[in-house]
Amino acid sequence: MMGKTPVELFIFDLDGTLIESKWDIAASVNLTLVELGLPERPLEEIFGFVGDGVKKLLRQAVGEDNPGDFEEALRVFRGHYLEHCLDRTQFYPGVEEALVHFAHTGKAVATNKSIEYTNVILQGLGAHHFQFVVGGDDGFGLKPEPGMLLHIMERLKVSKDRTVLVGDSTNDINGGHNAGIRVCAVGYGMGNREKMTACRPDWFIERPEQLMEIFE
């Protein structure tokens, strides 16, 4: 049996990796559409948009042909989502256990989600687990660009070969590889399994607890 892989820093994606958040996001998108006088979208369709950031999600939900509505949609969504982002959102089963297990390992969050929502959610669920959090509007670009990942490693002074990114999307896998770090993909999130596999993650897990079996 092979030994476990040593890690000094885990960088986690948020939505679909640490938290099951799609219900609250979808509900807020539909509340926004109704308020703007637009037809609601099926939940499954909205789930398909999640992961590329809320701006892209709203642009797709509102429709490309209403640029004026888009700014208004962002404003309306913000109000709804800040109010509802913890209604049903929680850590996936096994996540808390893994975070506690790795209490003495560095842990950060790198998400394309706005830092405002990210902070509210982590305050509600357990911000104390993480040394550093970077959001999509913090100025380091969005994954698959490597900027936020490189910034986290620099701030926490951990080398690339001691860092592992954990995420549920092709943006995560490609972003990690663009940053020169290894990636553990998760199969329980919102990402498309075939597309993720095609990006050749270094590991692929089905449950958060498997992090404890692979890494030390």
Domain regions of the chain by residue span: 9-21+90-214, 22-84
Query: Which two tokens mark 12?
Result: 């986690």
22-84, CATH topology level: DNA polymerase; domain 1 (1.10.150)
Q: What is the DSSP letter of 178?
A: H
Q: Which CATH architecture has domain 9-21+90-214?
A: 3-Layer(aba) Sandwich (3.40)
User: Stretch 185-207: mean pLDDT, rounded?
Assistant: 96
Between CA 33 and CA 68 the distance in angstroms is: 14
Percent of the chain residues past pLDDT 90, beyond the cut: 81
Cα Rg of the chain (Å, integer):
17
Catalytic residue IDs: 13
**Residue range 67-86, pLDDT digits in tens:** 778 888 999 999 999 999 99
Predicted model pTM: 0.94
Domains 9-21+90-214 and 22-84 share a fold: no
Between CA 214 and CA 216 the distance in angstroms is: 7
